Structure 1
């Protein structure tokens, strides 16, 4: 019996610590990448360096259910020891838990067993970092609202419902706030605005804002344009960036006490990082909407466009080269006698001495007499009288009177 107990204890401890896997296996890869992601701040890595590990973690969890189980085990270990784990590592572990719950989804959430739920419950009760507490509570609320249908989350959501009930009872039993004295100024009872939090909380807020900006940029770059608008992670981190931007701007304008020069510079740089991340997300959304609007349905591929159908932009056909008409629908040509000749040019009817006979069908021939214009200064009467008078062949001779002839 003792041997059986020792064997069972050894197996359970080995299952908790994890078995050895090949270096190229998905289990070994997800263990190394998850450790690098959660402990990036403790290892002195630059801000946002942990983002490069996310695609490898998600790919490994999708490719192997054992790798997803290994990820759940490692996340539980980071959350099981709040005293021995840094706040940034716990925060990153919760963030990774949130990402893997959506992708691959059920392959990961099926590992939320009683040990995992007990670890989350202990973190809610004994966690010392308020930032981590608020983040895990926010995530549990989202799971309760959006993933209540998931059978793998029943234990976790049942525990969270009980914890919320206890918390609400504790708040209801809190001592009432004494009424404000009339001699006390009203500004004392109001919460102080434009005040900086404690250095620990301020550092946690700045770190959260920077991580949210880096993760939003990473998700925008790794998400296809067609899936960008409906991606829950992009929406979530966009909301977090907008909330963080409001908090950081409030800290920048704080005057009770005002931030020192180094803190103010850090706040301004953090605000710039958030603004850049939000701007990139908005540009990506605009580009995705343009691509979705330019894509036409398959039924309209072979149909002519309205511009082409209306002929608004189509060039006018040349007169010398008309479009050919099919023989089946072409009309019979008119007889040659009634067919007008395109080379005949009809001149305008002007006032002339002569004219053309109407109804002529022959080609026009040039006649100089038709273009003789009557002289307005000509003496028509004298011309007519001379034309009617008989011509005397001796008219050019000099005539003498009879008196002169007798001389």
Structure 2
């Protein structure tokens, strides 16, 4: 086995969220393949991942489907000697790792049956495909000849290039300013990457070359990283919209409270002013310096006028002297 390749696969498993599950599902199918060499390689990789990726991969052995497929492999009467020997070796290693943990009871049960020579309970090999029951390998030869030749490595390069372009396009876009679901270029790359991921998954299920499988897993990891960046941008836009809506509602509520408070203050001030008494009007005293009647018969025409003169006063009239009483009888 190429251990540099094994460590490369371990890095993919440890650095991605779904890497462990995808690797387990792939190797689970490979250990039931028709080719003994492929079965041995699958068991070796499972054992290597259990040793080097315990935190990420060990929980995958508790999967119900894995226990069922492992029991199918152990109960098969047509197993190659190399496959059987490798399976026994792996079961021993896994039994030592898991002990009697009830989560891995299926693996422990297969181990005990193989070690003790207990006949399988299924009565024969369970079909590796539950639905439909037709094995994947049983395809007409003529149909295979009519299919165009596949190029896994070419699809790997194509998938990597599209994943990189997709990620770069996302990095130059601000999701708070633009809706990426309506961006034609981003949606085009998104659709291409989805299609290429399905192509890569198909190659992984049918390929037996360990070097090609590693390249396929690496390309799939880059595609998953671009999808994760896309999903994070969608979440960021949704959060920004929710924050904006919350601020708008808060601002409207504040304005409404201010308007109600202003009306209450205005009404209170008006009522307070109405309770105040109206001040009395200011009385203007009469002019005590009114001009004397110039025709006063008892006035002295020679008396000097001590009052202030005015340029606008009327001209002074010379009146005859007053009459003096005279004695009529002496």
Q: Give TM class, smaller chain.
A: 0.3 to 0.5
* Larger RCO, structure (CA 8 Å, separation 6 or more): 2
Larger-Rg structure: 2
* Structure with a larger share of its residues in helix: 2
